[in-house]
Amino acid sequence: MIARMWKARATKQGAGAYARHFSDHVVPELKRIAGYKRAVLLEELSAEQPELIVISWWESEDAVRAFAGADVGRAVVAEEAKRVLVSFDAEVRHYSVKVETP
C-alpha cells in the first residue's frame, strides 16, 4: 500500500473552508478511483496559520496515477482550494506502508 502526503498552510478561517472543500469535493472524487483506500485531513492545533496535512492511501502506483496523472509527484490542488490556502506544497511525498494497525 502507498501513502500519499501533502501539506499546506491556511488561516484558521481558511482551514475550515478547506476542510469543507475536502469533505464535499475531494473525498467524493477520490472514492470514484479504483485503488483508493481512504484519506485523512489533519489540522495543526493552536496555530494562527495551521498546517494542514492530507494523507491518502492507495493500493498501487497505478491507482495514484489514476488520480494524479503521469507526474505523480505533482500536487493536485483545485482552484477553489488555492483560494483558501496561504501556501501549499507543489509536490507530494509517497511512502510505502510497512506496518498498519486496525
Q: b/e for 45-62, b at 16 or more Cβ within 10 A?
A: eeeeebebebbbbbeeee
45-84 residue pLDDT tens: 988 999 999 999 999 999 999 999 999 999 999 999 999 9
Q: Is the per-residue pLDDT at 87 higher than 90?
A: yes
Nearest 5°: the CA angle 36, 41, 44 is: 155
Q: State how far the Cα of 41 lies from the Cα of 87, in Å rounded to an integer.
A: 16
**Closest C-alpha among 93, 80, 81, 57 to residue 9:** 81
Q: What DSSP element (H or E) covers 96?
A: strand 93-96
In whole numbers, what is the pLDDT of the chain averaged over residues? 96
What domains sit in the chain, N to C, each tagged with a CATH number? 2-96 (3.30.70.100)
